[in-house]
Structure 1
Amino acid sequence: MAGGVVNLRAARKARERAEKRARGDENAAKFGRTKAQKAREAAEAARARDTLDAHRREDE
């Protein structure tokens, strides 16, 4: 008989943690953005909003 005593509960929990980590990594690759990407997109949106506001007509 090879190996020693294995705690089945700990083995199950370790396997489930590994599966969750793999699923999370897949989702991060599909949907995730880095902090720098989010900041750049926010800056671009703010710049576009400011440009649009600068060209707004004052009819009152």
Structure 2
Amino acid sequence: MAEIVNLRLVKKRKAKDAKEKIAAENRILFGRTKIEKQFEREANRKAARFLDENRLENRDTPTETDADGK
């Protein structure tokens, strides 16, 4: 005798499996851990701060092109 199958549940399970497959692919393509994201943000912040602190020209003084009005 054949097993009775609830088609509604089979359809839901199939959709769930498809979504999980897409999610797994996206995790591989786009996923980074929270720690990796924080590390990158911190590295960018430190690099920007380093560049700002070691700037050769002062932002407050006008440059030659600003003084000429060009």
Normalising by the smaller structure, the TM-score range is: 0.7 to 0.9
SS at match of 1:24: helix
1:31 pairs with 2:30 = yes
Identity %: 36
Partner AA of 1:45 in structure 2: N
Greater radius of gyration (CA): 2
What stretches of structure 1 of length at least 5 have no aligned partner? none
Matches within 5 A, 1:1-60: 1-3=1-3, 5-56=4-55, 57-58=57-58, 60=61
Deviations 1:2-30 (A, max 9, x none): 32x21101110111101110110111011
What stretches of structure 2 of length at least 5 have no aligned partner? 62-70
TM-score normalised per structure 2 = 0.76
